[in-house]
Amino acid sequence: MSGGEEVLFWVLAPLMVIAAAGLLVVRRAVHAAVCVVFVMIGLAVLYVAQEAPFLGIVQVVVYTGAVMMLFLFVLMLVGVDAADSLTETIRGQRWIGVLLGLGLAAVLLGVVAQATFPPSVGLEQANAVTNPVALARVLLGEYVVAMEVVGILLVTAALAGLVLTHRRRLGKKPTQRALAEAKVALLPTGRHLTPLPAPGVYAQNNAMDTPALGPDGRPLDHSVPRVLRIRGQQRSATELLTAEETLVERRQGSDDVAPARSDRPEEETR
């Protein structure tokens, strides 16, 4: 280790250990994922520092950029968000976990304690033709058969994933045109061609439960969300309009009240 590398290691290693320990402590799944990402990037930096730039960068691109991102994607979609329940699904799983963890720690400590660190040999020769080229010669030269076998295995697995999640389409896929025609065909049944109108926006009231007014001044019932209508939480527009009309009258005092049509809040607000 040169001076710079040592400094880098002693700065990065404790942070990585903290992040790894954080994985055990944090309660939210996304925080755990962030901790894993930090450890991965720290590992990549250490790889680069140890003259394996290709490995380090590919670690970030493949694992951090793609695999971990997919995990996060699923986490966000599934919404494993609230603190997980602590009920044990397997009897005594906590003790089994502790026991296995201790066993792993013992094995690792044994390996580390017995390891000796002789000066590294052959790094210069291995990297003489630049790291990626040397790696390519090993992978695509000496171990090409193993590489191909692993590649075929991965492709098979990917295909299997596709096949297992594939559903055969029962009918023809509806085209945009067919959908439009179906919509139009439903017109006589009272369906609307356009998106549903937004609920009403009034001078004093702007809420989901008040219907908007149509161009003819009548309230549009379907502008209120269906759930509210079924629950009976819809407010009537007349109530609101009377309230507003009295307000207008109050403001105009005893003057001639403007024709009711122009007081329609619809025209004021749109």
Q: In 3D, which of 35, 4, 2, 3 has the Cα closest to residue 21?
A: 35
Query: Measured between alpha carbons, how far is 12 from 4 in angstroms, rounded to an integer?
Result: 12
Number of other residues whose CB lies within 10 A of the CB of residue 111:
9
- What tokens were used for 58? 């590919």
| 181 touches another protein (CB under 8 A) | yes
- Residue from 13, 18, 21, 61 in contact with another protein (CB under 8 A): 61
b/e burial code for range 227-266 (CB count within 10 A of at least 16 → b): ebeeeeebbebeebbeebeeebeeeeeeeeeeeeeebbbb
- Stretch of 83-91, 108-116, 129-137, 259-267 contacting another protein, by CB under 8 A: 129-137
Query: Of the two residues 179 and 247, which places its CB atom closer to another protein in the complex?
Result: 179
| 8 touches another protein (CB under 8 A) | no
Site string for another protein, 13-52 (x = CB under 8 A): ---------------x-xx--x--x---x--x--------
- Residue from 11, 76, 149, 154 in contact with another protein (CB under 8 A): 76
Number of other residues whose CB lies within 10 A of the CB of residue 200:
25
**Interface positions with another protein (CB under 8 A):** 28, 30-31, 34, 37, 41, 44, 53-54, 57-58, 60-61, 64-66, 69-70, 72-73, 76-77, 127-133, 177, 181, 184-185, 187
